Amino acid sequence: MCGIIGYIGSNVESNLYLGLERLEYRGYDSSGMTIKRNNDFTTYKATGVVEKLKSTIKENEEFGIGIAHTRWATHGQISIENCHPHFSSNGSTALVHNGIIENYEELKDDLIKKGKYFYGQTDSEVIAKLFDCKLDINNLRRVKKKLVGSYALAIISKNSDYIYFAKNKSPLYIALGSECALIASDPSCFVGFADGYITLEDGEYGKFSQKEVIIYDKNDKIVKKQPQKLDFSFINEEKSGYQHFMLKEIYQSRLALEKIMEVYRSYDIKEKLKELKNYEFDRIYLIGCGTAYHAGLIGGSYMREAFNIDVFCEIASEIMYKNLNIDEKSLCIFISQSGETADTLAALEYCKSRGGIIVAVTNTEYSSIARKASINFPICAGQEKAVASTKAYFAQCIVLYILTSYLKGNDYILPLYNFKRQIDFGDDNILKTLAEKLAGYDKVFFIGRGRDYITAQEASLKLKEITYIFSTAQPSGELKHGVIALIDKSVPVIVIATDENLFNKTLNNAYEIKARGGKLVLFTTLNTDSETEKAFDYIIKVKKPEKDFMPLQIILSLQKLAYFTAVTKGYDPDKPRNLAKSVTVE
């Protein structure tokens, strides 16, 4: 993970700080920046969220060259020593790094033998120590050849007016504005500074100043690249009256649906859908991590119902160990909000190497996954800032619904239009009261059958991510085969029941919990009778949409339940501990 940014121009400190705020979703264990002016460096570092850095910074309007970093710790504890930028032994070169250097121990041992001193434990410091020489293209090339692993690097020297860079696997982009030049892990950093940006590919390296960008490809040949237009629509910097981005983003699910309905009528998307239909495949794989994997499970349930072929849903980090039958007849759909998740990217390369047809469903059209796929279907959710994914999950499921409907030859606009009119975010008063109760427990179980079990998994993930309450999801029927041993009066069980055909069976499982003293909560779209109402301590009822949209309708209230519980416990739901939004390490 981690986010890097470099800036050449005036007001370097405040512009780098703005960039760090925009990159904070990539990690917030520590942050730092180094600015070069008059052949000298000024450095600021702080542990914790990016805001902690602000009070240390002395604003300076003068022209300068700076680099900055926000960290998600991998090698080495969270400390000032391990905070980027890192420095060469002679102190004249500073760098920021996103990625993992796999051979860092070997390189470090060698450097220690040569008498180098290391102040911290990071793999990134090892790269800095390889720069005890003049910073120029030859030396960058020499150092780059020694590195095995992933890296996005921005490097400055006291004696150079350029920012040097190199990229392998970790994302990196450059933009030239009218009054400044920038490099960053995410083009959202360029909004307000430039109209276009250049995407760097693996193996590329070079240098840039305010006036020029010089890029070498992996074969050391100079390449000329045309900037692409920066799309301003994805930025989401204001909470717009909401206390947190997470709550704002839950409510933006409706906007995402409206945007999808608009975009998926366009000529461009219709052409992509036609292209998808032209492929010949006899198996479908849906692949993702975390919430995106759960969206894949929902999409898989649509596809399994619609087509008479095998549909597999796979966790990206596991797919290569399963010896699956992936070949040129396999449609491999990669789902990723960020489009940069390292596990999903690795799974994509694996499926590509086996001849699979690669399709992406992402929220970031400029991302690595979107670019590596033969077709990318955008989810049109707009930038998602809260670490726990909400509107992106909703939008991913909708796009997978559209792909299924289109391949089946069904209209998708009218059903989506009807669903839009029925969207129900649940009753805040009941959800808040329930959240206050849940906040007092240290474990919570979720159960459901069929698609409701998928929703149970996603709801459980949301709750544990942001409240740190231990939580797990079980298929209702599976409970009695083990997990019921954990049920007593100290355990609330959240029952999700939106499928009429499965309602009675799920209720029976709920009664088994009740008989053992467990507290029961029901999330449903169905009508309940008085006997059911007596059995449950709380019932959250939302409007009943068409069957395919039940999981999307019910998840909105479950996302809000997790949110209100985190707020009740005094946690910041936007920045849960130990997590990052974009996980760019395997």
List of residues contacting ligand G6P (CB under 6 A): 289-292, 336-338, 341, 344, 387-389, 579, 581-583
Q: Please identify, using beta-carbon distances, which residue of 389 and 509 lies nearer to ligand G6P.
A: 389
Tell the smallest beta-carbon distance from residue 16 to ligand G6P (Å).
25
CA 244/CA 390 separation, integer angstroms: 13
**Residue where the block lists tokens 């992402």:** 362
- DSSP for 24-49 reads GGG--SEEEEEEEETTEEEEEEEESS
What lies within 8 Å, CB to CB, of 129 at 6+ separation is 88, 89, 108, 111, 116, 118
Kindly list the distances between the CA atom of residue 59 and the CA atoms of 79, 105, 217, in Å, as whole numbers in the listed order: 24, 38, 37
Q: Which of 167, 259, 544, 581 is catalytic?
A: 581
User: How does strand 181-184 pair with strand 205-208?
Assistant: unpaired
Tell the smallest beta-carbon distance from residue 231 to ligand G6P (Å).
18
CA 529/CA 451 separation, integer angstroms: 23
**Residue where the block lists tokens 């709380």:** 538
Nearest to 581, CA basis, from 325, 340, 302, 391: 340
Backbone angles phi, psi at 377, to 5 degrees: -100, 115
For 343, the token pair is 């596990």
Tell the smallest beta-carbon distance from residue 518 to ligand G6P (Å).
29
Q: Please identify, using beta-carbon distances, which residue of 64 and 339 lies nearer to ligand G6P.
A: 339
Q: Please identify, using beta-carbon distances, which residue of 292 and 454 lies nearer to ligand G6P.
A: 292
Q: Please identify, using beta-carbon distances, which residue of 34 and 559 lies nearer to ligand G6P.
A: 559
Q: Please identify, using beta-carbon distances, which residue of 342 and 484 lies nearer to ligand G6P.
A: 342
Decide if 300 contacts 286 (C-beta within 8 A). Answer: yes
**Residue where the block lists tokens 């998994």:** 457
Would you call 581 a catalytic residue per the annotation? Answer: yes
Q: Please identify, using beta-carbon distances, which residue of 345 and 431 lies nearer to ligand G6P.
A: 345
Would you call 2 a catalytic residue per the annotation? Answer: yes
Query: Can you state the percent helix, strand and coil of the chain, rounding each to 5?
Result: 40, 25, 35
Tell the smallest beta-carbon distance from residue 315 to ligand G6P (Å).
11
Tell the smallest beta-carbon distance from residue 147 to ligand G6P (Å).
25
CA 202/CA 217 separation, integer angstroms: 8
CA 459/CA 199 separation, integer angstroms: 36
Tell the smallest beta-carbon distance from residue 290 to ligand G6P (Å).
3
List residues with catalytic annotation. Answer: 2, 581
